Amino acid sequence: MLAPLAGITDLPFRNLVSRFGAGLVVSEMIASGEFLTARPGTREKAELGAQIENTSVQIAGREAEAMGEAARMVADMGARVIDINMGCPAKKVTGGWSGSALMQVPDHALKLIEAVVAAVDLPVTLKTRLGWDDGSINAPELAARAVGAGVQMVVIHGRTRCQFYKGRANWQAIRAVRDAIDVPLIANGDIVGAGAANAALRASGADGVMVGRGAQGAPWKLAEISAALYGTPMPKIPQGFAFYDMVSGHYEDMLSFYGAVLGNRVARKHLGWYMDRAATPRALRQRVLTEKDPKRVLSLLQDAVAPEWEQAA
């Protein structure tokens, strides 16, 4: 499964990952309060693709009524699965008592979960961390209460909120959640390849894995892990011109989705990861990432990510 990553797992990237093969892709987090007050056009744009079969839409917030209403609106937009975010560690999220901050107030967190489950006739899932800090590891308790309220799958990132993304994910600590619930459990954190995925499954007892940063610059990563673990078809990892074709297609999809100016700016992080993979020379990389003309970016990318193809031509 593809983890929700703010500013990264937008519709163009989710579509690209899905073309290679993914069990489930999760949208960027929707802040329920802002979602309810957004202009209609903005709202639809934020969740374009909610109706796609393998897509889960993630919502966050701190008020039960707003969470329930946001869930209903997302369901009306065609969502198939709704995920509740109680794992985001970002200060701008936790400062508003959303995301992983809710693990500090499990009684209130449960009210939000109950509101979402009651609002929709859809599968509802929950994503958390192990706890707020090392002194308050309460994911097993919260997960059990969430399942009791109707949550049908739980995803655990094997770090506390106060760890952010430092250190190593503690997959073994997720096993306590496995012992506490009888619905599918997904392990998340530091799963960058098949070896890590296999180790996470063994340590945690989870039923599956969620990949986040491991898919950056490698949209085939989920399918590659699935092939190694479960014998599904191995994806064809693009090389040379095929790699350029994939990168340029992703870039053009982002231009179409966001518009030329914003799309060019938002795409830079993805282009940077692709150029990391291609070992693009530093000077050329800088030219790509500072160029404002999309046509010129596409021209530069030929040399930046597929120089051997250019030589062959």
Bind-site residues: 58, 127, 157, 212-213
Catalytic residues: 88
CA distances from 69 to 55, 61, 66, 84, 118 (A): 20, 11, 5, 13, 10
Q: Provide the CB-side half-sphere exposure for 78 (13 A, CA).
A: 10
Facing residues of 188 across strands?
157, 210
Q: Which two three-digit tokens encode residue 198?
A: 């296999």
Residue whose C-alpha is closest to residue 92's, from 148, 170, 31, 51? 31
Q: Which two three-digit tokens encode residue 35?
A: 């979602």
Binding-site members for FMN are: 58, 127, 157, 212-213
Q: Which two three-digit tokens encode residue 28?
A: 């960027």
Burial class (CB in 10 A: 0-12, 13-18, 19+), 140: buried
